[in-house]
Amino acid sequence: MTKSPFRISSALSRISRPDNSQDDAGTALDLTPETALVPKRVRNPDETRQKLLDAAFGEIRRAGFGGASINNILDHSGVTKGALYHHFSGKAKLVNAVIDECLPGYVDTVWLNELENAEDILPILMEQVDRLSCDNAPELLEGGCPLARLASGAGELDESLRKRIDGVYRYWRRGLASHIGKAQFNKTVRTDVEPSSVAEFLIATLHGFLTRPPALRNLETQDAFAREFARYLNNLRPAG
């Protein structure tokens, strides 16, 4: 069975649904003589699974792993408990799927996709930081970076979850390092720096800033962070 691709916008837009939403089914018409014009439910397991992932992603972002409520996930997705346990044997399996399938999509959408095919990535990296304090900040960063927020509580998680979260960071680091290496080839980044080390530093810097709740990021702290981030990026420019 082929899973539907993760749609990052639906991770937020689907956490509330009308009361009359259907679970695991659409509506088709069975026009046989015996049942003409009688609605017939058509199951769509891929769609149901995606609804559960979207709702769980929103719930985990709001409440963390430990505080995530199965009942809230069911309410937001419009899915029955039986359908949930058909797709996931328990909360732990659902959480694992969110980490493995939703968080890499978040990294791509918010941080990596914009760097694709760019000869000069440094202005784009700076724009990503500048927009954190603007009205056009990515919707997924409302409440802070979901990956940073979840990782901040990693000490309370079991080893399996910690490894999964670390795997998402490694995915981000490899992707960013690849773009830095391409920028070196294009001569827009110094060739005497190690791409993976630069990527690690940039991600760690962003992580530290984004773990601070938005309410505590006033204009002064945002300006200071953006200024020093710009200084570091400027130092990556080749001499001359």
Confidence of residue 20 (pLDDT cuts 50, 70, 90): very low
Percent of the chain with pLDDT over 90: 39
Overall average pLDDT of the 146-175 stretch: 82
pLDDT for position 198: 98
Q: Per the structure block, which two tokens stand in for 113?
A: 């996709």
**pLDDT, tens only, 202-211:** 999 998 888 7
The residue written with tokens 């960071």 in the block is: 169
Measure the CA–CA gap between 140 and 194, rounded to whole angstroms: 30
In this structure, what are the phi and psi dihedrals at residue 68, rounded to the nearest 5 degrees?
-65, 130
Average pLDDT, the chain: 80
End-to-end alpha carbon distance in the chain: 55
